[in-house]
């Protein structure tokens, strides 16, 4: 027993395993440090960093594990050269048999590095719209706002529309009566710009576009607001509330349909 403990067949496998664990830990921590230094500007790059790090670390872990296993087998006199050759043949066979899976993996890698989308983005893929809840190498899971979850193979994408890739612009139409002084209206809206910029999720300029149309019963004045992706509905609601209160203060009439009822006496 003592002879076995002192032999290479006992302590070398332990050394290989420990070295493999330490090597993986050093590489993983180095990747984390480098990625934090390079990608620390905003939430979008942070999501991309997390996805890429997860994929790279898994690949490195599997590679180190294979090397350690082969090294341990060589200690026990196993011909690892033939094993490597066999793995090559098996790999070719599996590659031919699993071409669709290989396509999914390649497409998943390209999606990650091309920044087509990331977890948390709102996208439309093959006509299905929702939030990306999982972006894997083989497939992507999207959750619609109504709760349905669709799993799409990465190689099956025909089109990807990412609604979270850039800021959105929302156009707010303001209907006022024909007796409204447009110069006065523009002065009121100019004074509201700072308040609109303080609305939650507004992240850019507020631009007065001017009179956009003359409808049957009102003048339509339009403004455009830059906001964060997928927040335009909330921004529009809050902006309209501000504008309505301000127009009421300044006695600017907002037209609405009126119905006159005549009662015929018998």
Give residue-wise pLDDT tens across range 131-183: 888 877 778 889 988 889 998 888 888 788 888 878 888 999 999 999 999 99
Q: 143 and 86, same structural domain?
A: no
Q: 132 and 57, same structural domain?
A: no
The 10s digit of each residue's pLDDT in 24-79 is 888 888 877 776 655 555 555 566 666 667 667 777 887 888 888 888 888 887 77
Q: How far apart are CA 132 and CA 121, in angstroms?
A: 6
**How many structural domains are present in the chain?**
3
Residue 73 lies in a domain: yes
Q: How far apart are CA 231 and CA 254, in angstroms?
A: 26
Alpha helices per DSSP H over 98-218: 99-113, 182-197
For residue 18, what are the domain limits?
Answer: 9-97
Q: 238 and 201, same structural domain?
A: yes
Residue where a domain terminates, one of 162, 191, 217 = 162
**Residues near 113 by beta carbon (within 8 Å), at least 6 away in sequence:** 52
Q: 227 and 180, same structural domain?
A: yes
Closest CA to 185 of 239, 221, 236: 221
Residue 71 lies in a domain: yes
Whole-model pTM? 0.55
**Residue 150 maps to which CATH number?**
2.30.30.60
Residue 229 lies in a domain: yes
More confident residue, 221 or 215: 221
Q: 211 and 148, same structural domain?
A: no
What is the model's pLDDT at position 51? 63
Residue 74 lies in a domain: yes
More confident residue, 53 or 193: 193
Q: 26 and 91, same structural domain?
A: yes
Has residue 218 got a pLDDT over 50?
A: yes
Whole-number mean pLDDT of the chain? 80
> Once rounded to an integer, what is the mean pLDDT over residues 119-142?
84
- Per-residue burial over 159-174, b if 16 or more Cβ lie within 10 Å, else e, is ebebbbbeebebebeb
Residue 43 lies in a domain: yes
Residue 1 lies in a domain: no
Q: 199 and 120, same structural domain?
A: no
Residue 238 lies in a domain: yes
Residue 3 lies in a domain: no
What is the model's pLDDT at position 198? 92
Q: 176 and 127, same structural domain?
A: no
What is the model's pLDDT at position 139? 81
């Amino acid at each position: 027993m003592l002879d076995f403990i002192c032999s290479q067949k006992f302590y070398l496998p332990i050394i290989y395993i420990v070295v493999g664990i330490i090597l993986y830990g050093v590489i993983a921590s180095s990747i984390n440090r480098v990625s934090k230094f390079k990608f620390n500007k905003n939430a979008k790059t942070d999501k991309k960093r997390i996805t890429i790090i997860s994929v790279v670390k898994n690949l490195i872990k599997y590679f180190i594990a294979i090397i350690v296993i082969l090294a341990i087998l060589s200690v026990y006199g196993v011909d690892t050269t033939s094993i490597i050759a066999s793995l090559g043949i098996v790999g070719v066979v599996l590659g031919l048999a699993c071409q669709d899976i290989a396509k999914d993996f390649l497409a998943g890698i390209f999606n990650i590095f091309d920044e087509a989308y990331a977890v948390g983005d709102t996208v439309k893929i093959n006509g299905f719209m929702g939030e990306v809840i999982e972006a894997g190498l083989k497939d992507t899971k999207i959750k619609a706002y109504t709760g349905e979850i669709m799993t799409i193979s990465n190689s099956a994408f025909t089109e990807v529309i990412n609604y979270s890739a850039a800021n959105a612009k929302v156009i707010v139409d303001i209907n006022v009566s024909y007796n409204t002084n447009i110069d006065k209206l523009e002065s009121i809206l100019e004074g509201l710009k700072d308040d609109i910029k303080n609305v939650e999720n507004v992240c850019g300029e507020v631009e007065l576009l001017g009179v956009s149309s003359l409808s049957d019963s009102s003048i339509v004045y339009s403004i455009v607001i830059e906001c964060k992706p997928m927040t335009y509905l909330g921004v529009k609601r809050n902006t309209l509330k501000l504008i309505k209160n301000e127009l009421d203060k300044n006695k600017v009439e907002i037209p609405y349909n009126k119905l006159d009822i005549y009662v015929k006496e018998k």
